[in-house]
Amino acid sequence: MAAPMSWRRLVLSVYSPAMAGAFARVSDRLFRVRDRRRGSSVLLLAPLLAETDTAPRRVSRPSGSAGAQGTDGLCAHFGWMAEQAPAFRVPGTHIQILTSPEQFYQAMKAHIKTAQKRVVMASLYLGTGRMEQELVDCIEEALERSKENAHAPGLKVSILLDYTRGSRGQINSRTMLLPLLQRFTSQMRVSLYHTPDLRGLLRLLVPERFNETIGVQHIKVYLFDDSVIISGANLSDSYFTNRQDRYVLLQNCSEVADFFSDLVEAVGDVSLQLRPDDSVTMLEGLVHPYKGNRQAFSAAARKRIMAVVNAARMRQQLLQSEDSGGSGDVSEGEEDTWVFPLVQMKPLGIQLDEQVTQRLLMSASSDSAVFLTSGYFNLTRTYMRLVLGAGANYRILTASPEVNGFFGAKGVAGAIPAAYTHIAGQFYQQVCQLGQHERVHLHEYRRPQWTFHAKGLWYYLQGQHQPCLTLIGSPNFGYRSVHRDLEAQIAIVTENEELQRRLQEEQEMLFRRSTEVSSSTFKQPDRHVKLWVKLVTPLIKNFF
């Protein structure tokens, strides 16, 4: 894949999502004139219930032999990604696949302890238990050593969380981090992203427990100097013990680390800044996410974030152009892997991940195979149409009701596992009706005392027994991931046989603990879905 990259810039849509934009305008207007107009507050939720998937764009299928191996073959299949996202070339030997929550937790602690210049962490929230406190203690020790060490006096720590989830309860993510912020004010930054869609009357009416359903900061990136962990796991004890996710560690990949550091900084710049007294404020001159104009905030945020993406993409294209025009670098043979960061922030008009995922699914030919996993089986209509209409062989892994993170929850949340059972049942029925049951297989993850949160996919070209591509990160392939939240994942394209083998082992490890769904699965007594759950399933699909 050393051929020069195309210089065409991707023309991105700049519209605000119709659903969120329409609601924001209506909500702001109602909030300002609430004394002059009266109406049911329930109507405020109506625009949020309709899915607005757009049909995938027509694209040509990448050329090249489906069974082609090596750089040229992979370039023919996946080189188009470099036209839409930054393309970083790295040695496959620098990529480590972590397979357990314990490995994930220990890797973070170890890298924090040795960090000398930066620790950057983006997550939905930080838990408040013992294991989370140990993580905070590791950061504190690293900052203390930085002050005492003349060789590394400039350690900076930047943490990005979601405002709504990170502020929930009296003891929360903010209170966990305040002591560090108070003690290391000049070295510490805590940013709390607030969706522009939670504003006006909606912000006043939605209970604290459910306000995160409107939209959150969902990116999971954990960065230490020039190494970075990309995952779907949050900073909470269950993700360190018995909640299965996926995690990839890119060691000594400075360009990839720089990109994600810049990305988190950009999102942090348009977020609320936590102050040592537990108050929050915006950076000077920036639009407030829920007090300011919705369109102005989204435009400013999009401009700031896309500046990072476009600068990285242009820089990498220049590097590749220079490499292709030279006599060849002796290190090229070991740089056998490409990393493509994919960002999805549709409330801000950014949809790179959606576009790449659609094209990837669309271009999957009948001689290829895709293994896909999501903790919450809730494919968007577009993704579902592509899976059902494509020629590739699919195996889809999702959580059985018992390992769903909402299993046993109180209230409406307790109905979520049954709702996902209903969604899976409807999908399986479509598969059978279309005669696709030999091509599309649905599996359920089962593991006593564990929950399942893994997401991503593994892509196999014709005749391959190991994947040459994987998607890994925060998106769930569902409505929320595409339309509501801030997401990021990476596409790893590799010809490194050892890395392919480890990706294959990861896939087998997850699917080994699953059972394949059949028509009898949904006839079992414990799979009976109550009528009221079926009625609220569209609501759950859009909000959870």
Catalytic residues: 218, 220, 225
How would you classify the pairing of strands 243-244 and 227-231? unpaired
Q: Measured between alpha carbons, how far is 122 from 192 in angstroms, rounded to an integer?
A: 10
378 three-class SS? coil
Cα angle, residue 102 at apex, residues 97 and 106 outer, rounded to 5°: 85
CB atoms within 10 A of CB 3: 15
Burial class (CB in 10 A: 0-12, 13-18, 19+), 109: middle
503 three-class SS? helix
Could you tell me if 308 and 52 are in contact, meaning their C-beta atoms sit under 8 angstroms apart? Answer: no
Q: Measured between alpha carbons, how far is 40 from 43 in angstroms, rounded to an integer?
A: 6
Q: Enumerate residues 6+ apart whose C-beta is below 8 A from 84.
A: 10, 352, 355, 356
Could you write out the DSSP letters of every residue in 38-103?
---GGGGGGGGSS--PPPPPP-PPPPS-TT--HHHHHHHHHGGGGGTS--EEE-GGGEEEE-SHHH
Query: Helix count (H) and strand count (E) of the chain?
Result: 16, 21
Sign of CA dihedral 377, 382, 385, 391: negative
Q: Rounded to whole angstroms, what are the CA distances from 277 to 181, 281, 489, 544?
A: 9, 11, 34, 33
Q: Measured between alpha carbons, how far is 190 from 162 in angstroms, rounded to an integer?
A: 10
Please provide residue 172's backbone torsions phi and psi, each rounded to the nearest 5 degrees.
Answer: -150, -170
Two structure tokens written together for 254: 């400075």
Q: Measured between alpha carbons, how far is 247 from 255 in angstroms, rounded to an integer?
A: 19
Q: Measured between alpha carbons, how far is 394 from 525 in angstroms, rounded to an integer?
A: 28
H-type helices in 352-442, by residue range? 352-362, 381-389, 416-433
Q: Measured between alpha carbons, how far is 536 from 473 in angstroms, rounded to an integer?
A: 29
Please provide residue 422's backbone torsions phi and psi, each rounded to the nearest 5 degrees.
Answer: -65, -45
Could you tell me if 459 and 470 are in contact, meaning their C-beta atoms sit under 8 angstroms apart? Answer: yes
Burial class (CB in 10 A: 0-12, 13-18, 19+), 84: buried
Helix (H) or strand (E) holding 20: helix 18-32
